[in-house]
Amino acid sequence: MSTITSSSLAVANAAGVKNVQLVPAAENVQRKLLIIGTGDPTTEAANTLDSPLLALSAEDIGSKTGFGWMLHRLAVKVFSVFTGEVWYIQQAEPAGAQAAGEIDFATSTGVLAGTLALYIGAISVPITVTAGMDVEGLADAVVAAIAADTSLPVTATKTAVTFEVVITSKSEGPWGNNISIALNIQSGDVTPTGIVSAITAMTAGSGLPDVQDALDSLGTAEGANEAFFTKIIASGYTGAASPVDTTTLDAIANYIGQGNDFNGLWDKLVHKPFTSVFGDVAVQAAGLTAIAAIGDARKQDRGNGIISVPGSKSHPAEIAALWAAENEGVSALNPAVDFNDRPLLGIDPGVKSDRWNNSDANRNLAAKAGISPTIIKSGIVYIQNSITMYHPDNVGQNNNGYRDMVNIAKLQNINHNIPLNFSGEKWQGKTIVSDVTKVGDITAKADARDLNAVRDDFVALALAFESKAWIAEAQTLIDSLASGLAIRSGGDGFDAVIQFILSGNVRIFNVTSEFDISFASIS
Whether residue 503 is contained in a domain is answered as no
Whether residue 492 is contained in a domain is answered as yes
Separation of alpha carbons 291 and 131, rounded Å: 46
Separation of alpha carbons 244 and 187, rounded Å: 31
Percent of the chain at pLDDT > 70 equals 96
Residue 68 pLDDT grade (very low, low, confident, very high; cuts 50, 70, 90): very high
Q: Which helix H or strand E contains 91, and what residues bound it?
A: strand 85-91
Report yes or no: 195 and 237 within 8 Å, Cβ to Cβ.
Answer: no
On whether both 118 and 264 belong to a single domain, the answer is: no
Whether residue 486 is contained in a domain is answered as yes
Whether residue 16 is contained in a domain is answered as no
The reported pLDDT for the residue numbered 230 is 98
On whether both 152 and 280 belong to a single domain, the answer is: no
Say if residue 21's pLDDT is above 60.
Answer: no
Single-letter amino acid code for the residue at 138 = L
Say if residue 134's pLDDT is above 90.
Answer: yes
Separation of alpha carbons 451 and 293, rounded Å: 50
On whether both 492 and 354 belong to a single domain, the answer is: no
* Enclosing domain of residue 85: 32-93+208-401
Percent of the chain at pLDDT > 90 equals 85
Task: Return the minimum-mean-pLDDT range out of 95-109, 113-127, 205-219.
Answer: 95-109
The reported pLDDT for the residue numbered 433 is 94
On whether both 195 and 48 belong to a single domain, the answer is: no
On whether both 214 and 198 belong to a single domain, the answer is: no
Say if residue 372's pLDDT is above 80.
Answer: yes
For residue 30, how far is the Cα from the chain centroid?
14
The reported pLDDT for the residue numbered 521 is 65
Say if residue 83's pLDDT is above 90.
Answer: yes
The reported pLDDT for the residue numbered 6 is 66
Average pLDDT, integer, range 188-213: 95
Whether residue 162 is contained in a domain is answered as yes
On whether both 245 and 341 belong to a single domain, the answer is: yes
On whether both 229 and 330 belong to a single domain, the answer is: yes
Instruction: Please identify, among 182, 203, 224, the residue that sits at the C-terminal boundary of a domain.
Output: 203
Report yes or no: 403 and 388 within 8 Å, Cβ to Cβ.
Answer: yes
Specify the CATH number for the domain of residue 141: 3.30.70
Whether residue 285 is contained in a domain is answered as yes
Separation of alpha carbons 464 and 470, rounded Å: 9
Whether residue 257 is contained in a domain is answered as yes
Supply the DSSP symbol for 176.
G
Average pLDDT, integer, range 94-115: 91
Residue 519 pLDDT grade (very low, low, confident, very high; cuts 50, 70, 90): confident
**How would you list the strands of the sheet with 231-233, edge to edge?**
53-55, 85-91, 32-38, 231-233, 275-280, 304-308, 372-377, 380-383
**What pLDDT, in 10s, does the model give residues 252-287?**
999 999 999 999 999 999 999 999 999 999 999 999
Report yes or no: 408 and 388 within 8 Å, Cβ to Cβ.
Answer: yes
- Cα atoms in the Cβ-side hemisphere of radius 13 Å centred on 185: 25
On whether both 212 and 296 belong to a single domain, the answer is: yes
**What pLDDT, in 10s, does the model give residues 381-435?**
999 999 999 999 998 888 889 999 999 999 999 999 999 999 988 899 899 999 9
Report yes or no: 61 and 47 within 8 Å, Cβ to Cβ.
Answer: no
Report yes or no: 390 and 370 within 8 Å, Cβ to Cβ.
Answer: yes
**What pLDDT, in 10s, does the model give residues 490-516?**
998 999 999 999 998 877 778 888 877
Report yes or no: 52 and 218 within 8 Å, Cβ to Cβ.
Answer: yes
Separation of alpha carbons 345 and 319, rounded Å: 10
Torsion angle, CA of 310/315/316/319, rounded to 10 degrees? Answer: -100
Neighbouring residues of 256: CB distance < 8 A, sequence distance ≥ 6: 264, 265, 266, 273, 274, 275, 276, 302, 303, 304
Whether residue 522 is contained in a domain is answered as no
The reported pLDDT for the residue numbered 3 is 65
Say if residue 61's pLDDT is above 90.
Answer: yes
Helix (H, G, I), strand (E, B) or coil at 257: coil
Instruction: Please identify, among 184, 203, 222, the residue that sits at the C-terminal boundary of a domain.
Output: 203
On whether both 219 and 123 belong to a single domain, the answer is: no
Supply the DSSP symbol for 430.
P
Mean pLDDT over each residue of the chain, to the nearest integer: 93
On whether both 325 and 463 belong to a single domain, the answer is: no
The reported pLDDT for the residue numbered 20 is 52
Report yes or no: 236 and 70 within 8 Å, Cβ to Cβ.
Answer: yes
On whether both 143 and 225 belong to a single domain, the answer is: no
Q: Which helix H or strand E contains 285, and what residues bound it?
A: helix 284-296
- For residues 222 and 522, which has the higher predicted lDDT (pLDDT)? 222
Supply the DSSP symbol for 436.
G
The reported pLDDT for the residue numbered 18 is 58
The total number of structural domains in the chain stands at: 3
Report yes or no: 255 and 217 within 8 Å, Cβ to Cβ.
Answer: no
Helix (H, G, I), strand (E, B) or coil at 317: helix
The reported pLDDT for the residue numbered 200 is 97
The reported pLDDT for the residue numbered 395 is 87
Separation of alpha carbons 391 and 463, rounded Å: 30
On whether both 222 and 270 belong to a single domain, the answer is: yes
